[in-house]
Amino acid sequence: MKLRILRVGFLPLFFMFCAVTVSAGDKSGIFLVSPMFGSINSDIKYTSHGTGGTNTLSDYGPISALMMMYTCPDYTLGSMFHFSKLNNSTENGYMFYGLYYFGKESDIRPMLGFYADYINVFTKMPTDDIAPLLSLNVNTSIWAFHPIAGVQFKVGKQKITPFIGYFNEQVETSMTSEGMLIGGEIRNGFSANSSVSIDYMTVGVKAEFKITHFIRFDTKVYVRLKNGEIPLYTTRNRLDFLLSKQFGISVKYDYFNDKYETNSFLLVGPVFVF
C-alpha cells in the first residue's frame, strides 16, 4: 500500500514538471502556482459502539494547500495538495486532473478528462461520543477516480462544458480502541478493518467565465448517481483577480458531499503566473 501511495503521489509532480517544460516553449499556454490558506469544515458519519446508531462528528480547523495548473488551448493539467489540522482530526490529500479538447479552437469541441483524488483522515473520537469506550481512533483512506467525457461550447469569451462520467470510490477504514473500563481494568480492546468500493454515474457541467480582463471565474458542479441511493453533490470553484500578467489573488471554495463524509473549505492566496 505504501508503494502504491508513493507511485500515485508521484504522478501529479511528474505531470506538473512536464507542463512547466512544455510551457517554456509554448507561448500560448500559462502555468499557475498558488499557495493558499483558509478554513475547512468536515462532517464525519460513524456508527456508535454503544447504541449501534449512526452519529455525525462535526469538525473544523485551518487548511493549507498548494495549487498548480498548466493550461493551453488544447489541454489543461492541474493538481492541488492540501493539509489540515482540525479539532479532532488531521486530513491530508491531493487531487490531480487532466482535460483534453479535440480539434482546432472553435465554438464546439469534444472533451475527455480524468480526475483522481486521494484523502487520508485520522480521527480521534471525543470520549463523550463513544461511551462506554475509553478511546476510538479511526483512520480512513479514500481513493476516487473520475473519467469524464463532454462537449465544450464557446460563447464569446465564456466556455461551458456539460459532461457525463464514471466515478469509482474506494474507502479503506481501520478502527482501533483500547476498550472500556470494567471492574477497574481496561478490557475488550479491538482493531477492525474494512474496505468498500462504490461505483457511480456522474452528470455535471464545467464553466469558465472571463468577467473582465483581470477577473476570471472557473466552476464545476456534478452529481453522483447510484440506483436506490440519495444523489451526492460536489462543486469546485475558483475566482482569480489578476493584478498583473504575472501576479494575482485567487479564492477557492469547494464542497464535497460523500456517503461517509462531507467537506467544505474556503482558501485564499497569491497566484503566480508564468
Q: For residue 7, what pLDDT is reported?
A: 42
Model pTM? 0.83
Give per-residue pLDDT as tens, 190-226: 888 889 999 999 999 999 999 888 999 999 999 999 9
Nearest to 250 by CA among 31, 77, 67: 67
Q: For residue 26, what pLDDT is reported?
A: 52
To the nearest whole number, what is the mean pLDDT of the chain? Answer: 85
Fold of the domain spanning 2-273? Lipocalin (2.40.128)
Q: For residue 259, what pLDDT is reported?
A: 78
DSSP states along the chain? -HHHHHHHHHHHHHHHHHHHHHHHH-TT-EEEEEEEEEEEEEEEEEE-TTT--EEEEEEEEEEEEEEEEEE-SSEEEEEEEEEEE-SSEEEEEEEEEEEEE-SSSSSEEEEEEEEEEEEEEEEE--GGGSTTBS--EEEEEEEEEEEEEEEEEEETTEEEEEEEEEEEEEEEEEEEE--EEETTEEE--EEEEEEEEEEEEEEEEEEEEE-SSSEEEEEEEEEEE-TTS--EEEEEEEEEEESSSSEEEEEEEEEEE-SSEEEEEEEEEEEEE-
Give per-residue pLDDT as tens, 75-124: 999 999 999 988 888 999 999 999 999 988 888 999 999 999 999 989 88
Q: State percent of the chain over pLDDT 90.
A: 53
Domain definitions of the chain by residue range: 2-273
Q: For residue 47, what pLDDT is reported?
A: 59
Give per-residue pLDDT as tens, 1-41: 444 444 444 455 545 445 444 444 455 788 999 999 999 99
Give me the phi and psi of 166, to 5 degrees please.
-120, 135
